[in-house]
Structure formats: C-alpha cells, structure tokens
Structure 1
Amino acid sequence: MVDDSFYLNLAINRAWEYQCITIPNPAVGALVIDKNGQILSIQAHKEVGTPHAEVLALKESYIKLTNDNKIENITDSAEIHKYLLKNAKSIFNDITMYVTLSPCTHVGKTPSCANLLKELKVKKIIIGSEDINKNAQGGGELLEQNGIEVIYAYKQQKMQKVALKAKELLLPFISLQSKDSFVLFKYASRLNGSIDGGRISNESSQIFMHNIRTKVDNLLISGKTIMLDNPTLDCRYATLDNKKAPNITILTRNKNLPQNAPLFHINREITITNTPPKPSGFIMIEGGISMLESLIDMVDMILLFLSPTISQNTLIHTLNLNLKILHTSELDGDLLIWLAKK
C-alpha cells in the first residue's frame, strides 16, 4: 500500500546506504513527492559538512520541476540554500517531504534546513523521528508555526512501525550523544560460515567498509588478526576525500608481534594492550567470533558482510547470540546485515 509509511520507509532505506559514514552527524534520508504522489527525489546526507538530505532532495526536485540545471553543479550547502531561496519562489508550494529526522534549526557547518523549508513554504512534511540534539531540535514546531502541515510519525499510532525504523537508524548518533561513544563490530563470512581462504567480501563492500574506516577514531583488532591475516587496515579503497588511516589498538597478550606487518608502516598511532580500552568516540572492532564473544558487552552494533559463496575451508565459528536485525541491503551481491543486541 502506498501511504506515508511507504514513502518514509524509502527514505530510511536510502539513509542506511550511508550509515556510519555521516558520523558524527546522524544518517538521514529525505524523499519528495509532487501533488500527484509522484516521487521527485530520494536523497540522503552523505558526509559531515556536506548538504543535508533535505537540501539534496529539494535540489533534485527543483531541477525536475523547472528544468533549470544551473544548480546541478553547486555542491556547497549554503550556496544551494541561496539559489533555491532566490529562484524557487512558489515551486515547492504543492510538494510533500518525508524526512527520517526532524529538520535542523541551528546553523553549523551548513545552514538550517528547517528555515529553508519554512521560507520555501512546502505544503507538508512527515517526520520519522525527533531530534535528541537540543541545539538542532524544534524544526517541526518551527514549520507548524509558519503554516506548514507537519505529521510526526512517532506520534501516529498507525505509523509506529516505520517510526521505530527511523529511530533505529539513529542508534550510532544516539549512542555518541548519550555516552560519547559508539562501538561497531564488523564481521565477514560466507554462506556456510567459513571465514578463511582469502578475501571474503566483494569490491563494493570493501569500498563501503573503507569509507567507514575514514570516520573511525580507533580501530580495535586482536594480535591473532596480525598473525593470521597480516593486514594493512588502511583506507586505500575509500572513495571519500579523507583517506587518513585509523589509529589502531591491538588487544593481545603476545609480546612478540611481527613488527614488519604492513599496518605498522603507516603514519598513525598504534597502541598494544592486553586490556580492552574504555570506549570513546567512534570505535570499530574487526575480528572473529571469539573476539566478538569477549567484547560483546561493549558492542553497540554489528555489521555483517555475508558473501553469497560457499567455501571448502573448515574454519567455521559459531556463537550463541540473540540479535535483532535492524536493516538488510544488498551491495553488488554481498548481503549487508546491521544487527543490535536485544
């Protein structure tokens, strides 16, 4: 059924494509339809300091509604705001926007989305989740005060399911806001559970993972990982401008780690310890099931890359965990499964 939940769910799915890459900002999606229910755009915030989802959705919609392509090459958020405020006028008076998070009211690295929507006088906006950031919240109320119809999904009984999905999208952001840390455990395996025998994930998954690494404050691995895989743990496949390799903490009791391992020859901080560090900032753990089992109490979310292959190799690990699936998507054949503890 095509209803508000349907459209909002499409925006949520788009935002998951950039999950953790937007840190320290939340992952946010936005969708715009015209007066006939035709989808004009589905966009997501892609990286901190770049235009928010609402701005990108309005930009794409503006081009389709006006055939004015001059805005297409404008990438700076403030400049997009200025262009739309000058040229859009009444273009958006009949459109409806769906956004996974309440539009921001504050001016930071980018201008206020709520103020832009107010000035453009959009007809209606459906909001998936409220903003817990006191500096940015209040966007829905601002729009209501200026005559724009606002529907809060989290206040609608019939939209509770999609509202929960919108809130789950924010788990990394909520964790960082509430306890100043977010811990992601990354794991990759084949369909039969095997994890040995060379690279598991495809190139697109590697790019996605390396893009996330560019945002990590500390990458936690085991000494066993160095001994078995001899990894580099850099960001060479990242498509983002910032390819700074993450700092690394090696959790091990082995005092004789091979110092010729590639990861030691990259300009970054490396800490070797036998005690798990206290989480601070964005922490990613890369390791096997035994590491997940030992560190599960500090893990906030798990990202599983599942390759659609079966290997004859015999290194298969199992762990008795009761997890909740937050989101699944396919990336050129690999299945990405985002999980959280129940």
Structure 2
Amino acid sequence: MNHEFYMQRCLELAEKGLGNTSPNPLVGAVIVHNERIIGEGFHQKYGGPHAEVNAINSVEDKSLLKDSKIYVSLEPCSHFGKTPPCANLILKSKISEVIICNKDPHEKVAGKGIEFLEKNGVKVSCGTLEKEGEWLNRRFFKFHRTQLPYVILKWAQTQNGFMDKTRVENDKGVNWITHPETKTIVHQWRAQEDAILVGANTVINDSPALDVRHASGKNPLRLVIDPNNKISDNHEFWNLNTSSVVFSKTERVINSQTEFCLLNEIEDISNQVLKFLTSRNILSVIIEGGKATLESFIKESLWDEARILTGKNDWTKGLKSPQVSGYEIEELKLNTDQIRIITREIRI
C-alpha cells in the first residue's frame, strides 16, 4: 500500500483549515479499506470536531472500519480538551492500524496518543511525509518547541531595492510598489496568521486597516509598536471595529478594543512583543513594517520566514529595504510582481 499517497491527501485536507484552527494544529485524516478511500475529514475550526472524528463520521458503512486503516497527519490526541480524545474514538471504532505523519509536540500529547493506541493492540507507524507535515504545521511546531510564535516578515520593494520614497514633514499616504491585484494574496496571507504587526510610523504615514478586506477569512489581531505614543488619540486607525494591542512605555485609554502592553527598559522591544504573543497563545505573526520594525526582528534573529514582493519600477532615491540572509524556498510571478519566500533556517 502506498502510504505516501494517502498521507499526501491528509496534508491536502489539513491545509484547508489554515487560518481557522489556531491555536490548534492543521490536521487531515483519511480512512482506507482495501486500498480505497472510504472516509476523510479535516479539523475545520478551533473548538470544532477533530479530523479523525470527521473522517470516521463520513464513512457510510461503519462495518468496514474494523478492516480499515486510518491515515492522520498528526498524532491523535489522548486527552480531553475542547473535544474528547481522538485516540479513544479510533479504538472504539475498531480501526486496526494507524499511520501518522508527525508526533504531536504539544506537552499534553507528545507520544501519549501513540502509546495509548499501541497498548490497546492498535498497530501504529509514524514518519510518513514527516518533513512535509512539519512544514505545513510550522507555526504549531515552532510554538511548542520554542515557546515562541512563528514570525513572518513581509515587505514590498522596487527593482532597485527601495521600500518607500523619501518622506518630508507631513508627507502622508501609501507609495504603492506592487500591482493592485497583489493585495489579494497579501490579504490572504494575513488571514492565515493570528496577528499582524507594524510600527507607529507606518500607522501615521499610511493609515493601514491591517484587515483582510481583499480576501476571505478572519482579521488578524492588530499589533502596533508605539513606545512614545506618537499616534494621536483621534487617528482614524482607532476608528475601525477591530481589536488592537499597542506596545508602549506608558498606558492611555483609546477605546474598548485597544489594549496597551507596557514595555520595560531592559529587553529589546522585539523580544517583549514575542513574549506577549506567547502569553496569549498566539502562534504566528506577520510583520508588515516599516523598515525599523522589520530590522529590529532581523537584528535579533527573531524571524522564521520572509516574503519579499518586488514590483516592476525603479526609483531614483528613497528608503532602502531590509536585507535578510536565508534559504529561498519559492519564487513566483504574479502579474508584474515577483514574490520570493525565504526561510531563516534550511528546510530539509
């Protein structure tokens, strides 16, 4: 039996939950009887049924389960959380073999699901398409292995490496670099992450909404680094009906949806931001600028992935874009734009 074929289907199913399952992982499951898929499912949203539950429920003839295998992209849980443990359901369904992509790094699971199944006579194997599974769940794995969120840097630049024009006093507004249709993919990226971060100057100069209006999905939590409260109380940024967190040295009251996180004078701001996100169980953040904010995370090596969008134009002068060293894993063309995706650590 081709384990990789069925596991690939699990990963395809799991990816459908991207942006909706956090802080849970992305999980897909496929049930196979005599080399034929008779059921499949994925974890669709946080708090909802897990992939194994949806897969088992999708099987029309439950009598086939005792002679079937279940493929699942992450180790079945054996503890009670928002839903009952999946390992118990597999045992109750009399499925005799479980093929797993990855062991779950979460401390409440961490091999306990496999141990439970094996102790109860279920044949278990693990490691099919292991690297592919880790990449799909890179946010979840990073968070539970390091207690830090997965950090994505994103910026646009001209062909000759400028990310903004030179600003003069009271010079406001966005200097667009990329094709208008590129907004769709950028907003879809936002919908896939838990939070989005910018600095105070980006808010003051660009008045960004930081939402997903050009795509589908949920808006990420808005984060702003504004140590000295440069953004005025009546700035239009605060008028949007969206939750925000401001990192500042002093607290003030803006509205009921804006929270202030007080910064200390000892640690780098970037470290304080990530510690705050960890305390809130936020698995990922996309950082959209400006230059100082991006470079603060680059300097401290507190980034995992960079997404660099290069437009078709050249500018004679302006603000130079950040520089990162890493491993390019993807390059694609979108209209007149080039998109490069780079990881800080090599992806094997």
Q: TM-score with structure 1 length normalisation?
A: 0.69
User: Structure 1 residue 222: deviation in Å?
Assistant: 1.8
Alignment root-mean-square deviation, CA: 3.9
Amino acid at match of 2:7: L
* Aligned 8 A contact 2:326 2:343 in 1: no
Q: Which of the residues 228, 231, 239 maps onto 1:265?
A: 239
State the distance in 2 between where 1:287 and 1:99 align. Answer: 38
State the distance in 1 between where 2:78 and 2:151 align. Answer: 29
> What's 2:56 paired with?
58
State the distance in 2 between where 1:207 and 1:272 align. Answer: 25
State the distance in 2 between where 1:298 and 1:323 align. Answer: 14
> What's 1:115 paired with?
88
Gaps of 5+ in 2: 164-175, 250-268
> What's 1:106 paired with?
79
> What's 2:182 paired with?
201
State the distance in 2 between where 1:145 and 1:328 align. Answer: 46
> What's 1:35 paired with?
34
- Does residue 47 in structure 1 map to residue 24 in structure 2? no
Kindly tell me: are residues 168 and 310 of structure 1, through their superposed partners in 2, closer, same or farther at Cα, counting changes over 3 Å? Answer: closer
**Alignment size in residue pairs:** 298
* Aligned 8 A contact 2:183 2:214 in 1: no
Post-superposition Cα deviations, 1:97-131, rounded to whole Å, max 9, x if no partner, equal 21121100111111111111111111321111112
* Aligned 8 A contact 1:221 1:251 in 2: no
> What's 1:304 paired with?
307
* Aligned 8 A contact 2:106 2:144 in 1: yes
Q: Which moved more, 1:123-132 or 1:39-48?
A: 39-48
User: Structure 1 residue 35: deviation in Å?
Assistant: 0.9
Amino acid at match of 1:126: I
Post-superposition Cα deviations, 1:286-326, rounded to whole Å, max 9, x if no partner, equal 225664333123535326386xx95336488462411364x
Moved over 6 A (4+): 327-331, 333-336
> What's 1:341 paired with?
345
Kindly tell me: are residues 273 and 168 of structure 1, through their superposed partners in 2, closer, same or farther at Cα, counting changes over 3 Å? Answer: same
Post-superposition Cα deviations, 1:60-100, rounded to whole Å, max 9, x if no partner, equal 3x14xx4xxxxxxxxxxxxxxxxxxxxx3x23123222112
- Does residue 182 in structure 1 map to residue 159 in structure 2? no
User: Structure 1 residue 211: deviation in Å?
Assistant: 5.2
Percent identity between the two aligned chains = 25
Q: TM-score with structure 2 length normalisation?
A: 0.68
Q: Which of the residues 285, 288, 292 maps onto 1:286?
A: 288
State the distance in 2 between where 1:98 and 1:329 align. Answer: 32
* Aligned 8 A contact 2:198 2:290 in 1: no
Amino acid at match of 1:59: N
- Does residue 131 in structure 1 map to residue 104 in structure 2? yes
Amino acid at match of 1:125: V
Kindly tell me: are residues 278 and 128 of structure 1, through their superposed partners in 2, closer, same or farther at Cα, counting changes over 3 Å? Answer: same
Amino acid at match of 1:292: L
State the distance in 1 between where 2:73 and 2:116 align. Answer: 17
- Does residue 221 in structure 1 map to residue 223 in structure 2? no
Gaps of 5+ in 1: 67-87, 154-158
- Does residue 323 in structure 1 map to residue 327 in structure 2? yes
Amino acid at match of 1:150: V
Amino acid at match of 1:226: V
Q: Which of the residues 144, 162, 165 maps onto 2:118?
A: 144
